[in-house]
Structure 1
Amino acid sequence: MDAVAHHLRRLLHRADLHGALDALTPLLPGQPGSATQLNVLSGLRVYVRWLEETGHSLLHVSDAQARAYSAWLAAAYAPATHKNRLTQVRWLYDLLQHQGLVTDNPYRRVQGALNHAHDHRPVYSPADIARLLQEANPEERALVLLGAHGGLTGPETRGLTFEAIDFAYGTLHVSGRTVQATEALMGALERWGHQRGHTALFRATGPLFDLPTPFQLRKKLHFLCLRADVTYRAWHALRHAAGLRLLEPGLNAQTRQAAQDHLGLHSDESLRPLVKLKKISAPT
């Protein structure tokens, strides 16, 4: 234990966060290699990536930093996962405090998400999307509109290929459905496609984006939100915005069916949470 603690101190003072997590593994809850330990380690790697992206310190932690991470978790994950991730970081700082590397654990003073029903359906408002588009480069603009207008899921967006886009008819073919694109979305796809080598004379093939992992997609959206001064929310908040656009004329059978078809939902039940969000967000 003393040898591990000594090694951990050296790694942390060199700012080798990933090496520190490896050294910390024997001290984590659960048996070595167990699902519990692997889950905790996974949660701590999420925290380390957040530290690297935001420039926050692991050892010089404050109440403001703890609140910021909790807010990021609340936007990126469901309430249950938010609570689990906070618990894992509390364990981390308890260990660091026990080893004498920190003197306080501000994560003990941060509460997890309250499990309100509408918290499961975060959404980017039209004003949020306008600010994102104002700050976006061509790639980011295409990404935002694929979610906010096209209603594509994160995996559908990352896996979108040039072959799936009909530039002549303004449609996308994803997951067995045809999505009618807006003029703004098609314009964004054409501009980004041109940068990727797609022209009227030479049709590009293969992936539209180089985003092999969900983390890379979240990272792009997160940094765009920072530049645009928009509260970061997970990708599905863009998809919800697409659904609300289609429900904007009113909650009738036609708009419900249009939203269901556009988003690839297969039942009235699967659309119900979005209908509730529409009612919650409607002006009174």
Structure 2
Amino acid sequence: MTDALVPFTADALAQARSFSGLTDEALRVRAVTAARDKTFPELWAITLAYLSTDTSGGVRTSPHTLRAYRKGVEVLVNHARDHAWNLLHPGRREPGLYVAALTSSGLKPATVMARVAAASALYRALRWAGATDADPFADVKRPKDRTKGIVKNPPYRPEFVQAMLEHADAQERALVLLMAHAGLRIAEALAVTWADVDLPRRRLLVAHGKGDKARRVPLSALLRDALSAWQAESGARGPAWVFTFQAYSSAYERLRKLALRCGREHEFRGFHAGRKYAGTQLYAATKDFTRVAGFLGHEQVDTTRRYVEVPEDDLDDIVEHFR
């Protein structure tokens, strides 16, 4: 099985409807059979139906989250098959041994936590289907990563962003700046339509942010110029997508090749480092985490603190004049 394939929203909804048409007993039997036989495609289908209909994210759960959940469910099912787990009635110590096995395999703490989150989602789905009352991962201790995320994956450096912009075509330039200046998540950037772009008022509507929350963000002069140039080249208007690609993998490969063209492929670390670049620049100007949180679309300021690189010497001048 590959973890690259995730159903489109419409497919997820159609699949959820196929489950909603079952009686409670039929759904329970189907889930019990899938768990007993450790049938990954069926267990994932049940999990996806649950995630699509009975969670706050619903059918708008991000493709990135679905990929992570799908992979995590697959890993757990394979582990259960290899170690003779009874998925419906797991032993008291088995979940802890599963987490220990993940950790000892060399996975990073964040990846282990993602795998456990997926396992928990599977069990929520099985409880939703009436197949079990088990909640085996509720009290399992999860590894903590003592290294701050801003250290492991810091913002892109200005020199890298500038090099990318110098070698980018019109469409790539707009994408880079939507992350590095507007602070958009990659899913948000790919979902932008021209109707969301208000160049005269220097604003962009993020219609469906994380958790389906909308927000408006200001557009820098460079980003307005980039969007204007790309619109003139593409000829697109109104409800049309800004970008000619909407898949995460297509965007990633496009920017990876851009980094290769400017001789800095080793510096390319995906999309989040560009978002952190925007947050760090804004904090440097405002010194206000609350305003940065609103800009990035964070509910909690504590989340924003993990996106901002604060200079180690930013207190030097203040402390110098202590009395």
What's the TM-score bracket when you normalise by the shorter of the two chains? 0.5 to 0.7
User: Residue 164 of structure 1 corresponds to which residue in structure 2?
Assistant: 196
* C-alpha separation in 2, matches of 1:212 and 1:135: 22
User: Residue 213 of structure 1 corresponds to which residue in structure 2?
Assistant: 247
8 Å CA contact retained: 1:78, 1:120: no
8 Å CA contact retained: 1:123, 1:233: no
For residue 127 of structure 1, give the secondary structure of its aligned residue in structure 2.
helix
1:225 aligns to 2:259 (yes or no): yes
For residue 310 of structure 2, give the secondary structure of its aligned residue in structure 1.
helix
User: Residue 257 of structure 1 corresponds to which residue in structure 2?
Assistant: 290
- 1:7-66 Cα deviation digits (max 9, x unpaired): xxxxxxxxxxx9xxxxxxxxxxxx785789x849x99xxxxxxxxxxxxxxxxxxxxxxx
In the alignment, residue 116 of structure 1 is paired with which amino acid?
T
Measure how far apart 1:248 and its partner are.
1.5
Q: Select which of 139, 143, 165 maps to 1:133.
A: 165
Aligned alpha-carbon RMSD (Å): 3.5
* C-alpha separation in 2, matches of 1:241 and 1:128: 11
Q: Aligned residues: percent identity?
A: 26
Q: Do the aligned partners of residues 119 and 32 (structure 1) sit closer, same or farther apart at CA in structure 2, a change above 3 Å counting?
A: farther
For residue 249 of structure 1, give the secondary structure of its aligned residue in structure 2.
helix
Measure how far apart 1:215 and its partner are.
0.8
1:267 aligns to 2:267 (yes or no): no
* C-alpha separation in 2, matches of 1:78 and 1:217: 25
Measure how far apart 1:150 and its partner are.
0.5
For residue 276 of structure 2, give the secondary structure of its aligned residue in structure 1.
helix
- 1:47-86 Cα deviation digits (max 9, x unpaired): xxxxxxxxxxxxxxxxxxxxxxxxxxxxxx976449x9xx
1:193 aligns to 2:225 (yes or no): no
In the alignment, residue 171 of structure 2 is paired with which amino acid?
E
1:234 aligns to 2:234 (yes or no): no
Matches within 5 A, 1:103-182: 116-117=147-148, 118-174=150-206, 175=209, 176-182=214-220
8 Å CA contact retained: 1:121, 1:240: no
* C-alpha separation in 2, matches of 1:184 and 1:149: 9
Which ranges of structure 1 fall in alignment gaps of 5 or more residues?
1-17, 19-30, 44-76, 85-113
For residue 274 of structure 1, give the secondary structure of its aligned residue in structure 2.
coil
Measure how far apart 1:119 and its partner are.
4.1
Structure 1 runs (4+) deviating above 6 angstroms are 281-284
* C-alpha separation in 2, matches of 1:162 and 1:185: 14
Q: Do the aligned partners of residues 122 and 226 (structure 1) sit closer, same or farther apart at CA in structure 2, a change above 3 Å counting?
A: same
User: Residue 64 of structure 1 corresponds to which residue in structure 2?
Assistant: none
* C-alpha separation in 1, matches of 2:169 and 2:156: 18
User: Residue 58 of structure 2 corresponds to which residue in structure 1?
Assistant: none
With the length of structure 1 as denominator, give the TM-score of the two structures: 0.56
8 Å CA contact retained: 2:196, 2:205: yes
* C-alpha separation in 2, matches of 1:150 and 1:159: 14
Number of matched residues? 186
Which ranges of structure 2 fall in alignment gaps of 5 or more residues?
3-37, 45-69, 76-106, 115-144, 317-323
- 1:216-235 Cα deviation digits (max 9, x unpaired): 11111111111122211110
